[in-house]
Amino acid sequence: MSHAEPRPLTVSARGPLRGTVTVPGDKSISHRALMFSALAVGESRIEGLLEGEDVLATAAAMRAMGAQILRDDDGVWRVHGVGVGGLLQPQAALDMGNSGTSTRLLMGLVASHPITATFTGDASLSGRPMGRVIEPLARMGAEITASPGGRLPLMVRGINPAVPIAYTLPVASAQVKSAVLLAGLNTPGITRVIEPVPTRDHSERMLRGFGAELTVEDGPEGKIISITGEAELSPQHIRVPGDPSSAGFWMVAASIVPGSEIVIRNVCMNPTRTGLITALKLMGADIAEIDAREVGGEAVADLRVRHAPLKAIAVPPALAPSMIDEYPILFVAAAFAEGRTVARGAHELRVKESDRIATMRTALEAIGVRTEEHEDGLTIEGSGGDPLPGGGHVASKLDHRIAMSMTVAGLGARDPVTIDDVAPVATSYPDFFQTLDALGQ
């Protein structure tokens, strides 16, 4: 699942962005919907699944381990699961493409099944450390052989029965939490994850919905999430809400391009995912939540975003876990704000698809933005709403969010901005550029 040939793009400023958009299904929820459906006994149906390359990598891996996964002509996905404990030995290596979520969660699944799986990925994913997942899974009894630095390619030899553990997360990571919980699904006894800093809780919500015995309580060290193993999951009908990370690009685009007004429909408003909205509102963004509702256990709303002058803020570090994927586009908003925005507390950005702190600093400076790099974030000198100089060449580093963020920055630049490769955008938002063109008509 290697990326296509590099696809350079030159972005020029354009007039107001207007219209209604429906963003792709939430990526985190889409991954989990496929995995949990594949572990249920019977047929689950999934509507609104994100059909980007990352999620399709998860679908291919679950097929390789025995699940039947079909897409109907109406876009509904049907999954016939094998049951917890029923995963089959894959006959070839599992190619994860660019998807860290697929890799880490599936490592957890394999760890407590009596099978062996080899995980491979593209150049970007192969540079990302997996040690934080290897450590707890090894404590549960899985045997994991990784490339130097705890990287891909790696092999997981699962064990059954695995050993239930109580594991305190050393870093705020929903992926590590989910990997341990998924290993616990097929482990006799109770597996516990202690979470000092809250992270996105889609796994907990959805596992409960599928019938797993899972509790969440507050303890002295943080949230204690307990799952009772050898679970039996029941098939479900899942409606995947719109991805707030994808919605973030349009929130910032509408905020910085004068005269813009965009309505983004059906956005997941899970409180562990709304940090960007909170930060943008602190900066003065005009974002209204319309028709708040609940769909499949997740809060959902439509968002109306209008152009507004932005002011610099010190981004509260406590927001980091609820907007970790949105920092690149927040940095773009800061570039157009009045004053100096300080965004710290985001160490996790160093180990994403690229080092998003260093990559965004280089990208913003290439188009005339003054920045200061910190170990855990950036300080950005804003333009006060004036167009950015632009005119630079930007390296996306095989990172879909860098490519989309810098496309948005180009909408408010005096001179055209050239991005070396926007092909990785297909991993999470295949229709991004068509949507941009439609909003700019």
Binding residues for 3-phosphoshikimate: 27-28, 32, 173, 175, 325, 352
Instruction: State the binding site.
Output: 27-28, 32, 100, 128, 173, 175, 325, 352, 356, 401
Q: What is the 8-class DSSP label of residue 349?
A: G
Specify whether 286 is catalytic.
no
Q: Is the peptide bond before 153 cis (omega within 30 degrees of 0)?
A: yes
Q: What is the 8-class DSSP label of residue 423?
A: G
Q: CB atoms < 10 A from the CB of 148, how many?
A: 5
Q: How far apart are the first and last CA of the chain?
A: 34
Torsions phi, psi for 186 (to 5 deg): -110, 20
Catalytic residue among 122, 201, 302, 325: 325
User: Which residues on adjacent β-strands are paired with residue 145?
Assistant: 155
User: Which residues on adjacent β-strands are paired with residue 191?
Assistant: 227
Reduced to 3 states (helix: H, G, I; strand: E, B; else coil), residue 89 is coil
Q: What is the 8-class DSSP label of residue 418?
A: E
The tokens describing 441, both together, are: 């008509």
User: Which residues on adjacent β-strands are paired with residue 214?
Assistant: 227
Reduced to 3 states (helix: H, G, I; strand: E, B; else coil), residue 213 is coil
Instruction: State the binding site for phosphoenolpyruvate.
Output: 27, 100, 128, 175, 356, 401
How many whole angstroms separate alpha carbon 267 and alpha carbon 240? 10
In our burial notation (b when 16+ CB lie closer than 10 A, e otherwise), range 191-220 reads bbbbbeeebbbbbbbbbebbebebeeeeee
- Residues labelled as active-site residues: 325
